[in-house]
Structure 1
Amino acid sequence: MFLTVTANPSVDRTVEVARLTRGELHRAAAVHVQPGGKGINVARALVRNGHQARAVVPAGGPEGDQLIRLLTGYRVEVVRVEVAGPVRSNITVVEPDATVTKINEAGAPLSAAERESLLGAVLDHASGVGWVVAAGSLPPGVPDEFYADLIHRLAPIGVPVAVDTSGAALPAAVKAGPALVKPNLEELAEVVDRPLRTLREVVDAAGELRSRGAAAVLASLGGHGAVLVDGDGTWHAEARAQARSSVGAGDALLAGFLAAGGRGPSALAAGVAWGAAAVSLPGSTMPGPEDVRAHRVVVHPDVEWERRIDT
């Protein structure tokens, strides 16, 4: 069983168009409405591949009701935390070359009591799970230390925590000592405050996050695959994929990595396979077993240290 918490969930509408031109009328080629938020996407990917996952979400308003109905349709077990504010709506426009334009609402603030209820719901359901995944942005007004607080509260239980977030919440969570953090290239560069142009620089930045408290770092690099740095070593893996939509690919990567044990090159290969499969699907569709092509993944025996990843 995996437990995910998404502090700022969403209802995501993805619209496919032939070409996006500012100020023009567009005809949608396809529309997809799906439950969104990083933790929710991780749970969806796990369930699609036969794993048990429970998603803890704050959900208020009619949009919250819609979110729960959508999640139930995906057979994700849901722990709903009632809050006053509505669940946000996000719009993604995707062009045939996989160019993605996103319009994300900020989300409704959570009161101190609502934040405590959300943390309490995670603690109530964390006993005996394999991983807790704390993922996504934080709603307005929620302290940057929210995920760090969760990590500290889960420590006595002994369950490993994986964190996928951004902004000031990421370094705060790293300092709390999670078992894993999963930044993308931009998030990793932001947290170490310098550009990352080569695999060597990515690995060095991941090592810096480990020195600050994270036990392992899984860095997603878009078309360049992903890098894993932990106490046992450093690995780089990548896969070929026909890109259709990159939305949710990093969440699929994290889900695949955790489903395969959450450690070492074999888990990295599984994560990259799931992520590559997600890229080939519309909207934020999570891949199932029929979509994953493990044979397309290459785990390089030696890291190409000077390989450019900023192009």
Structure 2
Amino acid sequence: MILTVTPNPSLDRTYEVPALVRGEVHRAARERVDPGGKGVNVARAVAAAGVRTTAVLPLGGAPGALLAELLGAQGVDVTAVSIAGTTRSNIAVAEPDGTLTKINSEGPELTAAESALLLDTVRTCSAGAAWIACCGSLPRGLEPRWYAEAVAAAHRAGARIAVDTSGAALLASLEARPEVVKPNAAELAEAVGRPLATLGDAVKAAEELVGLGAGAVLASLGRRGQLLVSRDGAFHGTAPVTAVRSDVGAGDASLAGFLIAGGTGPAALASALAHGAAAVQLPGSAVPTPADLRPEAVRVTADPPLDLPLTEA
């Protein structure tokens, strides 16, 4: 079983329009409503692969009730922590060329009692989980060290844990030595305090995070694929994408693929790449099913091209 923890979940509404013009009235060609939040997306992708998953998340108000209902319909068990605030709603506008405009709500503020209850729920649900994925931003009311406390709770229960967050929360989590952290290129650069121009720069940055306590770093590099760095070495992989439809939740689908495949080594990296490539070719924050994957097209190497630029010239 894979347990996911999403401290700041959302309802995601996605509208597909021919073109977004500021100040104009638009008629959407398609519209969809999905459960949102990074850990929620991981849980949805895990469930779509036929693997048992439970999502722990604070929920409040009508949006929270709808989110739980939608997750249940997708085969995700929900363990809800009731909060006084209302679960946030996010809006995304997708254009045919892959351009995505997002408006994310700040979300509710959790009280000290709600924060403690959420952590206690994570501790209780950790027993028996093969992996725990703690993902996303922290809502108001939760300090950056909250993820470190969640990592420690998971370890006491004997579970392995992956953390997908950024900034102070990411750095604080390293003190508790999570098995995996999953930054994107910008978050990795922020963590080490310098720009990353090449794949070699990204490898060095990931090695620094390993030195600070991460068991492994799974870094999403956009069109440049993904990087996996641990004390066992560095692996780089790519997967072809015909056309990007929406990149919402693609990194979360990648993490799901990584954990489903065991959460370690090049085979897990290949699974992450296949899931991420499939996700960006789907609408909104839809998650891939096994039928969407093209594992035969994935390429992974133990000899990363260190001079590869991370951005297009």
TM-score over 0.5 for the pair? yes
2:297 maps to which residue?
Answer: 296
Decide whether the 8 Å contact of 1:245 with 1:284 is kept in 2.
yes
Q: How does 1:11-90 map onto structure 2 within 5 Å?
A: 11-90=11-90
1:134, distance to aligned residue in structure 2 (A): 0.4
Query: Any runs of at least 4 consecutive aligned residues in structure 1 with deviations exceeding 6 A, and if so which?
Result: none
2:307 maps to which residue?
Answer: 306
CA distance in 2, matches of 1:301, 1:78: 38
Q: Which moved more, 1:229-238 or 1:276-285?
A: 229-238
Q: Is 1:111 paired with 2:133? A: no
1:238-286 Cα shifts (integer Å, max 9, x gaps): 1111211000000000000110011111110010000000000000000
Q: Is 1:207 paired with 2:207? A: yes
In the superposition, the TM-score normalised over structure 1's length comes to 0.98
Amino acid in the other structure paired with 2:272:
G
CA distance in 1, matches of 2:154, 2:260: 20
Decide whether the 8 Å contact of 1:13 with 1:34 is kept in 2.
yes
CA distance in 2, matches of 1:2, 1:155: 14
Find the residue that maps to 1:163 and give its secondary structure.
Answer: strand
Find the residue that maps to 2:18 and give its secondary structure.
Answer: coil
Q: How does 1:200-279 map onto structure 2 within 5 Å?
A: 200-241=200-241, 242-279=243-280
1:2 maps to which residue?
Answer: 2
1:301, distance to aligned residue in structure 2 (A): 4.3
1:112-160 Cα shifts (integer Å, max 9, x gaps): 1001111111111111110011001011231011101111222222211
Decide whether the 8 Å contact of 2:112 with 2:141 is kept in 1.
no
1:100 maps to which residue?
Answer: 100
Decide whether the 8 Å contact of 1:87 with 1:107 is kept in 2.
yes
Aligned residue pairs, count: 311
1:2, distance to aligned residue in structure 2 (A): 0.4
CA distance in 1, matches of 2:100, 2:165: 20
CA distance in 1, matches of 2:141, 2:7: 12
Decide whether the 8 Å contact of 2:88 with 2:106 is kept in 1.
yes
Decide whether the 8 Å contact of 1:12 with 1:34 is kept in 2.
yes
Calculate percent identity across the aligned residue pairs. 52
1:214, distance to aligned residue in structure 2 (A): 0.5
1:46-76 Cα shifts (integer Å, max 9, x gaps): 0101100000010011111111111111110
Q: Which moved more, 1:153-162 or 1:173-182?
A: 153-162
Q: Is 1:170 paired with 2:207? A: no
CA distance in 1, matches of 2:138, 2:193: 21
Find the residue that maps to 2:75 and give its secondary structure.
Answer: coil
Amino acid in the other structure paired with 1:270:
S
CA distance in 1, matches of 2:237, 2:44: 23
Find the residue that maps to 1:290 and give its secondary structure.
Answer: helix
Decide whether the 8 Å contact of 2:37 with 2:136 is kept in 1.
yes
Any stretches of 5+ residues in structure 2 without a counterpart?
A: none
Find the residue that maps to 2:235 and give its secondary structure.
Answer: strand
CA distance in 1, matches of 2:17, 2:167: 31
CA distance in 2, matches of 1:185, 1:156: 31
1:203-234 Cα shifts (integer Å, max 9, x gaps): 00000001111110000011111000012111
Find the residue that maps to 1:168 and give its secondary structure.
Answer: helix
Amino acid in the other structure paired with 2:143:
P
